[in-house]
Amino acid sequence: MKSKDEQIKEIIANFDWVKVHKVFVTLKWEYAKTSMHEEGIPTIGTLINTAADCLQAVANGEGTGCGTGGFRATIDNCSLGLEFVVEDYFVEAEE
């Protein structure tokens, strides 16, 4: 079984960062200025750092999912995953 750190490294190495960056450019999707990054369309390095932070959060047990900056990181049975989401829709079931 791969460790969580090994999984994060593999995800970072194999994710299509150029494709994600193209979406940001095409949609003119910008990050707001924070202590983590500058305002504007994020660089590929910023995208990688944002996704890595989210992956690390779920790997450290800070919930089963993390979503930020278009990324959704999840953990299921010790397996980490990363998605880049442009659009989604969720409805809470009524009780």
pLDDT at 34: 77
Cα 18 from Cα 15, distance rounded (Å): 9
User: Stretch 21-40: mean pLDDT, rounded?
Assistant: 89
Q: Residue 37's pLDDT band (boundaries 50, 70, 90)?
A: confident
Two structure tokens written together for 1: 């079984």
| pLDDT score for 40 | 92
- The tens digit of pLDDT for each residue in 2-27 reads 999 999 999 999 999 999 999 999 99
Contact criterion met (CB below 8 Å) for 63 and 57: yes
Element housing 20 (H / E): helix 17-27
- Beta bridge partners of residue 65, listed in sequence order: 74
Q: What is the pLDDT of residues 38-77, one digit of tens each?
A: 889 999 999 999 999 999 999 999 888 999 999 999 999 8
Give the model's pLDDT for residue 76: 92
C-alpha closest to that of 50 among 24, 76, 89: 24
DSSP for residue 31: B
